[in-house]
Chains A and B, each alone.
Chain A
Amino acid sequence: MAPYRIVEHTADAGIHVTGGTLEELFSDAARGMMSVICEVPPEGWPETHVVELSAPDAESLIVDWLAELLYLLEVKNFFTTDPRVEKVEGGAMRAVVGGARLRGVVHATEIKAVTHHMISVDRTMNGFETTIYFDL
């Protein structure tokens, strides 16, 4: 099964993500979100960012993590292609994020924000799953 799939939403869009570990879940959620923005990653100069975050629970943490990648896109023109989440533990995470600094304007889907709408990170037989909605 693919680690993420797009979920229908009348006005916006969501992704359903599965992962054997929280690290996989967080990495694939990032890939899923970037695929909503642009199916084919745009070209740019290679760059790497380190992201370290903490939050009260896994739901808040995964929303903050994706919001961080949106911030990098909007302010630093950095498009994530290779999100390597090294550790998610005790409400904290660390990731080394590979990607490209964009050369100009990209006509892609603009995600305004990552919502907390009905967010829940759940344990499954095979690991974890969650559904995250974006405001477009």
Chain B
Amino acid sequence: MPDWTKCFDNISDYKIKIPRTCFEGMRVPGIIYAGPELLDDLKSDDAPQQVANVATLPGIVEYSLAMPDIHYGYGFPIGGVAAMSVEEGVISPGGVGFDINCGVRLLASTIEAGDARAKADELATMLFRDVPTGVGSTSDIRLRGGDMDKVLRMGAAWAARNGMGWEEDLEYCESGGALEDADPGEVGRRARERGANQLGTLGAGNHFIEVQEVEEIFDDRAARAFGLEKGMAAVMIHSGSRGLGHQVCDDAIRTMREAVVRYGYELPDRQLACAPVESPEGRAYYAGMCAAANFAWANRQCLAHTVRGTMERVFGASAERLGLRLVYDVAHNIAKFEEHEVGGKKRRLCVHRKGATRAFAAGHPELAQRHAGVGQPVIVPGDMGSASYVMAGTPQAMAETWGSVCHGAGRVKSRTSAKKEFNAASVLEDLAAHGVTVRAGSKKSLLEEAPGAYKNVDHVVNTCVNAGLATIVARLRPIVVIKG
């Protein structure tokens, strides 16, 4: 592994530059946001190479960026953000990832956290029973006739308008829970087959549902706008576009690996396969990706509906009475056309976020009225033993990172070493000592996702705050964790 620290040019204690001269073919410099406590992890990971690789892509504008939860991925690093020129740039499925619109949604509640803690065991058992998890799991939602096309066009609205949610949920989803450029015609047969029975399923790996306590509020005004109150329970849901999205990405890479040869691109990694934004291949991928993103929003909407039902039964009151309102739903694997300022001029760019969250500042026209004065809610899940955060976007993020910030704690240990290093009994014991009740599909998935496999989320969040990319609104502690 090359010693990347030789290349590092510290701009500040929280911002590192990789100059263009560091790696052949870089068209722009790389910028990594990492505070002092994250540097050791960064030095022992090959992710900076991937930041440099992204910087070689045609049409990349200004920087190849990485958020503080950066770690080694495939193609782009996880935590990677890159904006491409619409006229001269490329769109890359590797800059979005297989799990298109993997994301997080947070439901607030008026349930006292103490009441949720008292029913933790029952909640865990019921949620694990009600939410389909694991390989091969299917849901009761049956898509008939033209339903799939409607899901792919309407996203979260399809679920909400078919009895699985509230109309106001849509207002609190990024992009209203649907991208209008979706073309169901660009979602192939296999993708549809894979997604057919998966709407409303959680999946496995790092996907989860957590019942949490709003432990601390750091910004009263923003917390009020987001509907968060100290001492109340909240529910966080992390899932994506399931097999449908994975297949849309797979199909696009297959098309683009041949397009790369045709367009004469020389790429440092085949996973960065791409095509011009405005080419037939680029347009087809974007339209299919939007449809898969809509499937993911529908999926999280269905999961939230299941969770509301479970909470109703456990607490013996309606979801409305329990105040289970949507705080926000954010995507963290997506490519979008957005307007940003470049050299003092507004430009429309194709922004790739792979393991990064959109974090628009107060006053941005795309924000819900309720968030207009405080900025977009940013949901940052930590590991299952510590904490998660809700933050808000800032003008500095708009100026420096195309309105983007971290998406989580970021892994630091491979799944193999996590399995070697930890044992299930002590992980469960530690979690119990922290007041966390867990239901996981297997010991293996519990160990792979053990808290010690992740960076300290406090360090990641502190870097974002100290670099000016976000402000902290609230900290949440897990009470119940459901893993696939």
Report which A residues bind B (CB closer than 8 A): 6, 8-13, 37, 56, 59-60, 64, 67, 71, 73-75, 77, 102, 104-110, 112-119, 133, 135-136
Given the contacts A9-B72, A106-B135, A110-B205, A117 and B249 also touching, CB distance less than 8 Å: no
Select from chain B the residue with minimum beta-carbon distance to A71: B190
Query: Nearest-CB distance from B17 to chain A (Å)?
Result: 23
A13 to B419, CA, bound (A): 12
A8 to B75, CA, bound (A): 16
- Chain B positions 235-266 with a Cβ under 8 Å from a chain A Cβ: 243, 246-247, 249-250, 253-254, 257-258
Residue of A6, A108, A110, A117 touching B74 (CB-CB under 8 A): A117
- Chain B positions 21-73 with a Cβ under 8 Å from a chain A Cβ: 45, 47, 71-73
A6 to B99, CA, bound (A): 23
Residue of B193, B203, B273, B413 touching A75 (CB-CB under 8 A): B193
Query: Nearest-CB distance from B40 to chain A (Å)?
Result: 14
Query: Nearest-CB distance from B452 to chain A (Å)?
Result: 14
Query: Nearest-CB distance from B334 to chain A (Å)?
Result: 16
- Report B-chain residues with C-beta under 8 Å of the C-beta of A107: 133-135, 204, 441-442, 445, 484
Does the CB pair A117–B445 fall under 8 Å?
Answer: no
Does the CB pair A106–B444 fall under 8 Å?
Answer: no
Query: Nearest-CB distance from A105 to chain B (Å)?
Result: 5
- Report B-chain residues with C-beta under 8 Å of the C-beta of A112: 98-99, 205, 246
A10 to B203, CA, bound (A): 20
- Report B-chain residues with C-beta under 8 Å of the C-beta of A114: 250
- Report B-chain residues with C-beta under 8 Å of the C-beta of A77: 136
- Report A-chain residues with C-beta under 8 Å of the C-beta of B412: 10
Q: Lowest 3 CB-CB distances: which A-B pairs, in order?
A: A107-B441, A117-B74, A110-B204
- Report B-chain residues with C-beta under 8 Å of the C-beta of A118: 269-271
Asked if B279 is an interface residue, CB under 8 A from chain A, the answer is: no
Q: Chain B 266-307, CB within 8 Å of chain A: the 1/0 string?
A: 000111010000000000000000000000000000000000
Does the CB pair A115–B271 fall under 8 Å?
Answer: yes
Query: Nearest-CB distance from B214 to chain A (Å)?
Result: 29
Does the CB pair A106–B98 fall under 8 Å?
Answer: no
Given the contacts A116-B270, A135-B98, A106 and B134 also touching, CB distance less than 8 Å: yes
Does the CB pair A136–B415 fall under 8 Å?
Answer: yes
Asked if B416 is an interface residue, CB under 8 A from chain A, the answer is: yes
A102 to B415, CA, bound (A): 25
A118 to B85, CA, bound (A): 26
- Report A-chain residues with C-beta under 8 Å of the C-beta of B95: none
Does the CB pair B98–A113 fall under 8 Å?
Answer: yes
User: B-side binding surface: helix, strand, loop or mixed?
Assistant: mixed
Does the CB pair B250–A113 fall under 8 Å?
Answer: yes
Report which B residues bind A (CB closer than 8 A): 45, 47, 71-75, 78, 97-99, 132-137, 190, 193-194, 203-205, 243, 246-247, 249-250, 253-254, 257-258, 269-271, 273, 411-417, 441-442, 444-445, 448, 484
Query: Nearest-CB distance from A54 to chain B (Å)?
Result: 12
Does the CB pair B134–A12 fall under 8 Å?
Answer: no
Does the CB pair A109–B416 fall under 8 Å?
Answer: no
A23 to B149, CA, bound (A): 40
Residue of A10, A13, A59, A110 touching B135 (CB-CB under 8 A): A110
Q: Can you give 22 A-B contacts (C-beta < 8 A)?
A: A9-B414, A10-B45, A10-B71, A10-B413, A37-B135, A56-B257, A75-B194, A104-B136, A107-B204, A108-B135, A109-B204, A110-B484, A113-B246, A113-B250, A114-B250, A115-B74, A116-B271, A117-B75, A118-B270, A135-B74, A136-B205, A136-B415
A6 to B418, CA, bound (A): 14
Does the CB pair A116–B257 fall under 8 Å?
Answer: yes
Task: Given contacts A75-B243, A107-B134, A108-B442, list 16 more A-B pairs with CB under 8 A.
Answer: A10-B71, A11-B414, A13-B416, A59-B270, A64-B254, A67-B250, A71-B190, A105-B132, A105-B134, A109-B204, A110-B203, A110-B484, A112-B99, A115-B98, A116-B253, A117-B269
Does the CB pair A11–B71 fall under 8 Å?
Answer: yes
A112 to B417, CA, bound (A): 20
Does the CB pair B258–A117 fall under 8 Å?
Answer: no
A55 to B175, CA, bound (A): 38
- Report A-chain residues with C-beta under 8 Å of the C-beta of B132: 105
Select from chain B the residue with minimum beta-carbon distance to A102: B136
- Report B-chain residues with C-beta under 8 Å of the C-beta of A8: 414, 416-417
Select from chain B the residue with minimum beta-carbon distance to A119: B270
- Report A-chain residues with C-beta under 8 Å of the C-beta of B250: 67, 113-114
A60 to B253, CA, bound (A): 10
Does the CB pair B194–A74 fall under 8 Å?
Answer: yes
Select from chain B the residue with minimum beta-carbon distance to A120: B270
A136 to B203, CA, bound (A): 11
Select from chain B the residue with minimum beta-carbon distance to A7: B416
A107 to B128, CA, bound (A): 13
A102 to B411, CA, bound (A): 32
Does the CB pair B271–A109 fall under 8 Å?
Answer: no
A9 to B47, CA, bound (A): 11
A136 to B207, CA, bound (A): 10
A119 to B272, CA, bound (A): 12
Most buried by A among B194, B258, B270, B417: B270
- Report B-chain residues with C-beta under 8 Å of the C-beta of A75: 190, 193-194, 243
